[in-house]
């Protein structure tokens, strides 16, 4: 079904919770091209996070089809490997592990790969340098500011060279100046690494940074406009 340019193809995707009482996705259709940067907007409860969870294979849809990076997510049996190699997550709550160092937190997604501990160390260091945190590698995340933690989360998201970054309100918990730093970092990574970036935001000026803005309403795509 994939036309080659699309890294994400979703058709008539449905997802409900509470034994069908809550319809989070109501037959959603969406295509995203490889290397695109799209923003997703929409009211609270419209299904934005559910959509990202489906794309990132954190959860499975009930009906319809969803193909991401050439993988049929409705039928693939084990999703862990897909998730750790193809997807980088940057969420509002960065869920870093508090009793590990910054460097160790960035290394975690590589434990599932065949890299040696030296290679893991080098890769984590390289990414922490790229987010300007090389002087904090031995710190505990609890000692970092919100913006620094979000930069660790971005480094961790990139560690396995994912083809897609999913960012769910990545600046939602930050002050606007720190948020702007995180956004320019994401944008730079998108340009440099040619990664596909899908970002949920409720700020119109943030959404404008993407090449396309997708509006979600009641679990469907309401509109999609190039910026
Ligand atoms: N794990 C869950 N269990 C039950 N209901 C959920 C769950 N996740 C989301 N929902 C419900 O699904 C709907 C869509 O939620 P969500 O995708 O989080 O929306 P958004 O991110 O746009 O605010 C909401 O009504 C929400 O309460
Ligand atoms: Mg949400």
Dist. CA 51 → ligand 2 center (Å): 9
pLDDT score for 47:
98
- pLDDT tens, 122-142? 999 999 998 899 999 999 999
Dist. CA 44 → ligand 2 center (Å): 7
Domains of the chain are: 35-57+78-226 (3.40.50.300)
β-strand pairing of 71-72 with 196-200:
unpaired
Ligand nearest to the CA of 215: 1
> What integer is the mean pLDDT of 180-209?
91
Q: Name the residue with the closest Cα to ligand 1, atom 11.
A: 24
Q: Of 223, 224, 222, nearest to 212 (Cα)? A: 224
Mutational test site, ligand 1, from 50, 54, 202, 217, max ligand atoms within 8 Å of CB: 50
- pLDDT tens, 133-170? 999 999 999 999 988 998 999 999 989 999 999 999 99
Beta bridge partners of 28: 13
| pLDDT at residue 197 is higher than 60 | yes
**Residues within 6 Å of ligand 1 by CB:** 17-18, 22, 24, 42, 44-50
Mutational test site, ligand 1, from 21, 22, 172, max ligand atoms within 8 Å of CB: 22
Ligand nearest to the CA of 47: 1
Measured CA angle at 41 (ends 35, 45), to 5 deg: 125
Cβ distance 214 to 221 under 8 Å?
yes
Backbone torsions φ then ψ of 173, nearest 5 degrees = -100, 10
- pLDDT tens, 62-80? 999 999 999 999 999 989 8
């Amino acid at each position: 079904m994939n036309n080659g340019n699309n890294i994400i193809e979703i058709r008539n995707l449905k997802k409900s919770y509470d034994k069908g009482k809550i319809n989070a996705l109501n037959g959603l259709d969406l295509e995203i091209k490889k290397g695109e940067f799209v923003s997703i907007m929409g009211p609270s409860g419209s299904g934005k996070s559910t959509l990202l969870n489906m794309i990132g294979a954190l959860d499975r849809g009930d009906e319809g089809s969803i193909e991401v990076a050439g993988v049929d997510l409705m039928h693939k049996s084990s999703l862990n490997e897909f998730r750790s190699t193809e997807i980088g997550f940057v969420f509002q709550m960065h869920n870093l592990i508090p009793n590990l160092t910054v460097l160790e937190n960035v290394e975690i997604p590589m434990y599932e790969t065949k890299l040696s501990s030296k290679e893991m160390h080098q890769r984590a260091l390289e990414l922490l340098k790229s987010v300007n945190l090389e002087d904090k590698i031995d710190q505990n995340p609890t000692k970092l500011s919100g913006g620094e933690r979000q930069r660790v989360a971005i480094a961790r998201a990139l560690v396995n060279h994912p083809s897609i970054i999913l960012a769910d309100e990545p600046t939602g918990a930050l002050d606007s100046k720190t948020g702007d730093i995180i956004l320019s970092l994401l944008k730079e990574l998108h340009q440099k690494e040619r990664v596909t970036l899908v970002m949920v935001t409720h700020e119109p000026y943030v959404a404008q940074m993407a090449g396309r803005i997708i509006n979600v309403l009641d679990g469907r795509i309401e509109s999609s406009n190039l910026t």
